[in-house]
Structure 1
Amino acid sequence: MSADLRWTPPEVLDQDGRAYALRHVWCVGRNYAEHAREMGVDPSRSTPVFFSKPAQAVIQSGIVTYPERTEDLHHEVELVVLLARGGRSLAAADWPERIWGYAVGVDLTRRDLQAKFKQAGQPWELSKGFDESAPVGSIVPAERWQPRSDCMIRLSVNGESRQHARLGEMIWSVAELLERLSHEVQLNSGDVVFTGTPAGVASLQRGDRVQAEIEGLPVLEFDVT
């Protein structure tokens, strides 16, 4: 095989500059009650909705390019979990020791395309899995940081607060999400899980500056160009 046909897994870096090779990105929708309500769903009757992004969608950059074919790009700040080991059909108690690290991330969504696809009964993968749609901050190894229920998760745009909640407001905890997901697919080292976003998702414009943070994790900042 010629050198230009070889594929190298994309990587992200932790606080110490160590590389983490990405395998697959999983995301969950409607994991905060208020966000479920703002999307028109009763959280008491909702179950986790999983979808995926390509690993190449994950970037660590101060610049995100506004995607083509959309005029309604939404931000969704999330706690991101990176796995050191995987498994299939494991209980929630088995997952904490399999986590490599944590970061703050933003799930970017082309909301107008998503609505159009949903209305037509078509898959809406292109509204979620486009280039640069999953910016993440620097990763903190699991031995240095663990999510607490009182940790604040926030996102601001041009200094204006848009999203804020506590991690304890998640409907399903990190371990519970991993348990449920592992009953659907085989999880592996290199898998990344975006754990859902709180209420307050809204549009981004070209020229906006986004700041996303979770207490104890490095802040994620980027400009939309």
Structure 2
Amino acid sequence: MASGLSRFVELGRKIVCVGRNYSEHAAELGNKVPTEPVIFLKPTTSYLKEGNAITFPHGSDNLHHEVELGVVIGKPGFQIRESTAMEHIGGYTLALDMTARDIQDKMKKKGLPWTLAKGFDSSCPIGSFIPPDKIPDPHDIEIWLKVNDAMKQQGNTKNMIFKVPFLISFISQFMTLETGDLILTGTPSGVGPVSPGDVITCGLTGLATMTFTVNK
């Protein structure tokens, strides 16, 4: 199954994202720390593989980086119990949740969904598939991001507000998680803008790195 899941970009039918899952990140954007997960979706057309450029979406001049641990679903399920949730993990990946902050802020002020700010083409750059045996504990991984070699984000997944088994269980109370689906588990503090020509490098220490350029 793991070998087949290396094609999760083609197999998966949805990208389920968790917002504000690190308290310091919630605070830096002026948001309250959530009491239950904040969930939104990206379409699979937002996937971007290395070798391709991140592109600003239409109407945006304020594009932000957010580095995240991605969880690839290996076994489908609905209303999964938290106690068995880890059995549904097929692997992991490194991902970016690129966010058009100006569009998001405008939508938030109007009480409207964030879809256009989060789901545009190239908004979900991803790295290679990481087999589950390479990450025995997803809650103790250093995660970091640099822009033009300057460190911008550096955190650890142990600081997630909601842990991976809880997220899988919570999401699956509402929607079936299918083989190849991706869950983005949130970003640590330090998010900020990128400009055309910038180079983003990010990683899960000892596990994965990836690099993308930014175009207008």
TM over 0.5: yes
Q: Does 2:71 correspond to 1:81?
A: yes
* 1:144-223 equivalence runs, <5 A: 144-223=134-213
Task: Give the CA deviation at 1:123.
Answer: 2.1
Gap runs ≥5 in structure 2: none
CA distance in 2, matches of 1:128, 1:48: 17
Kindly indicate whether the alpha-carbon contact (under 8 Å) linking 2:5 and 2:129 is maintained by their aligned counterparts in 1.
no
Larger Rg: 1
The one-letter code sitting in structure 1 at the alignment partner of 2:191 is V
Are the structure 2 counterparts of residues 182 and 151 from structure 1 closer, same or farther at C-alpha, using a change threshold of 3 Å? same
CA distance in 1, matches of 2:23, 2:62: 23
Deviations 1:12-52 (A, max 9, x none): xx899942312110000010010111122332x53210000
CA distance in 2, matches of 1:220, 1:203: 18
CA distance in 2, matches of 1:148, 1:188: 20
Task: Give the CA deviation at 1:121.
Answer: 2.3
Q: Does 2:85 correspond to 1:92?
A: no
CA distance in 1, matches of 2:195, 2:141: 28
The one-letter code sitting in structure 1 at the alignment partner of 2:13 is R
CA distance in 2, matches of 1:128, 1:171: 21
Deviations 1:135-170 (A, max 9, x none): 011111112323443321101100111111111000
Percent identity of paired positions between Structure 1 and Structure 2:
37
Corresponding position of 1:104: 94
* 1:44-123 equivalence runs, <5 A: 45-62=34-51, 63-123=53-113
Task: Give the CA deviation at 1:89.
Answer: 1.3
* 1:1-16 equivalence runs, <5 A: none
Corresponding position of 2:119: 129
* Greater alpha carbon shift after TM alignment, 63-72 vs 124-133: 63-72
TM-score normalised to structure 2 length: 0.91
Corresponding position of 1:5: none
Secondary structure of the structure 1 residue equivalent to 2:188: coil
Secondary structure of the structure 1 residue equivalent to 2:102: helix
Task: Give the CA deviation at 1:78.
Answer: 0.3
CA distance in 2, matches of 1:143, 1:126: 36
The one-letter code sitting in structure 2 at the alignment partner of 1:53 is K
CA distance in 2, matches of 1:18, 1:71: 34
Secondary structure of the structure 1 residue equivalent to 2:91: strand
Gap runs ≥5 in structure 1: 1-13
TM-score normalised to structure 1 length: 0.88
Kindly indicate whether the alpha-carbon contact (under 8 Å) linking 1:75 and 1:109 is maintained by their aligned counterparts in 2.
yes
Kindly indicate whether the alpha-carbon contact (under 8 Å) linking 1:74 and 1:110 is maintained by their aligned counterparts in 2.
yes
* Greater alpha carbon shift after TM alignment, 179-188 vs 193-202: 179-188
* Greater alpha carbon shift after TM alignment, 114-123 vs 175-184: 114-123
Task: Give the CA deviation at 1:191.
Answer: 1.0
CA distance in 1, matches of 2:139, 2:42: 27
Q: Pairwise CA RMSD of aligned residues?
A: 1.8
Show structure 1 runs of 4+ deviating over 4 A: 14-18
Larger proportion of helix: 2
